[in-house]
Amino acid sequence: MDGHIGTSTKDMTHTRCSKGIQTNTITFTENMPLRIKKETFLLNVSNKQRFAELLVRKLQESNIEAIQSEGDADLLISQTAVNKADDHTVVVYGEDTDLLVLLCHYAKEGRQIFFTTDKHTSMKNHRVWDISKAKPVLGSDSCRQLLFIHALTGCDTTSCLHGIGKPAALKKIMTEIYLNSQGAVFLQENSSKEDIIKAGEEALVNLYAGVLLEGLDIHIWRKFTTKTMSSKRNAVVQVQSLPPTSDAAIFHSTRVYLQCQYWKGKSVADLDPTEWDWTLKTGKLLPIEMSKPPVPDFLFKIAHCNCKTNSDNKKCSCRKNGIACSGGCGECRGINCSNSRNTPESDDESIFHGFDVNNLHQLYISNLVIRL
């Protein structure tokens, strides 16, 4: 179990896994019977931490070697397995992809380490990874880059990339030298933020099959215009299918670097998360998503929903995308709606205020009605 006491960059993951369920802290003893479900009991961080300490103590009293992690348990498990493999064949049981990635990254040549799960599954579906055979197949360079590509495409502390699967990203890192050079920046100990941001954006453009050095914002514009011009007249461009903006990529890249360094052995004392685009709110570390809106303000004003009710549920596309209903909405028109700011637009606030009619690109975009 992770040994994080206090805040952690995994706070968001813990909240998501709990599905909003809150459990009271229970003062328990080793002889006290559990009156609630095990899963519910372990949702409380204090309960989980005290249970781990009790379990370690009881195992040690029975002369069974047990180690309690002070941070990320996956890193401690993988490093312990690698060290034990010098003298023994080691089997690691787990369900976390992080473990498999770390084992492939750290395992030494010729050492017998196996990774599997202790879940009860049929023999047909039961998988066992022989790390000593997996490393030669992947290649030593790719195994070094696994930390980077795993964090970049989404892990417990970083966001997933829509439409970019890990197998496809792994295939690219195995074959493309340029992507490897970007990954090297994230694995270096003292990379500057400028280098990290530049390498991160170029790596994302590469994964989204963009043109070398074109940048994410230009790539988004190209993909958007291609989709709108090639689709049917009433076709909807799914916003989530577009790559992240350059602004969003900045924050994603810095968090990817931080996670890579934690996996390489750095601690919170070495790298403070709040200096790497995490913010502390209500006692939890939360990621800073971006500093700029994802699209220009005038596009937000022509985005609309067609809710026939009060726009008070998650089915409302305006609410779902974090924008207020407006005059462009089919039913509510942004008036007396639970998702409206209830402030009528003045003439100066129209979508064409400050609009350069000579700018054909803006003129083309402004005439598109985006159904988010």
Query: Structural domain boundaries of the chain?
Result: 1-71, 73-138, 147-287, 295-372
Give 92's strand partners: 115
**3-state SS, one letter per residue, for the chain:** CCCCCCCCCCHHHHHHHHCCCCCCCCCCCCCCCCCCCHHHHHCCHHHHHHHHHHHHHHHHHCCCCCCCCCCCHHHHHHHHHHHHCCCCCEEEECCCHHHHHHHHHHCCCCCCEEEECCCCCCCCCCCEEEHHHHHHHHCHHHHHHHHHHHHHCCECCECCCCCCCHHHHHHHHHHCHHHHHHHHHHHCCCCCHHHHHHHHHHHHHHHCCCCCCCCHHHHHHHHHHHHHHHCCCCCCCCHHHCCCCHHHHHHHHHHHHHHHHHHCCCCCCCCCHHHCCEEEECCEEEECCCCCCCCCHHHHHHCCCCCCCCCCCCCCHHHHCCCCCCCCCCCCCCCCCCCCCCCCCCHHHCCCCCCCCCCHHHHHHHCCCCCC
Q: According to the model, what pLDDT value does residue 72 have?
A: 80
Q: According to the model, what pLDDT value does residue 188 have?
A: 96
Q: According to the model, what pLDDT value does residue 139 have?
A: 94
Does residue 279 surpass a pLDDT of 90?
A: yes
Does residue 347 surpass a pLDDT of 50?
A: no
Mean pLDDT throughout 276-290? Answer: 91
Answering whether pTM is above 0.75, one says yes
pLDDT-derived band at 167, boundaries 50, 70, 90 = very high
Does residue 60 surpass a pLDDT of 70?
A: yes
Higher pLDDT, 309 or 265: 265
Does residue 370 surpass a pLDDT of 50?
A: no
Mean pLDDT throughout 239-263? Answer: 93
Mean pLDDT throughout 227-249? Answer: 78
The Cα 67–Cα 86 span in angstroms is: 18
Q: Are 322 and 303 in contact (CB under 8 A)?
A: no
Residue 68, both tokens: 């309690």
Q: According to the model, what pLDDT value does residue 122 have?
A: 60
Q: Which residue has the tokens 């992770």?
A: 2
114 backbone dihedrals φ, ψ, rounded to 5°: -120, 145
Mean pLDDT throughout 295-319? Answer: 71
Mean pLDDT throughout 336-363? Answer: 46
Tens-digit pLDDT profile for residues 95-149: 889 999 999 999 999 999 999 987 766 666 778 999 999 999 999 999 999 999 9
The Cα 274–Cα 52 span in angstroms is: 28
Does residue 352 surpass a pLDDT of 50?
A: no
Q: According to the model, what pLDDT value does residue 20 have?
A: 66
Does residue 323 surpass a pLDDT of 80?
A: no
Q: According to the model, what pLDDT value does residue 290 have?
A: 87
Q: According to the model, what pLDDT value does residue 12 have?
A: 78
Does residue 365 surpass a pLDDT of 70?
A: no
Q: According to the model, what pLDDT value does residue 213 have?
A: 86
Give 284's strand partners: 281
Q: Are strands 278-281 and 90-93 parallel, antiparallel or unpaired?
A: unpaired
pLDDT above 70 coverage of the chain, percent = 80
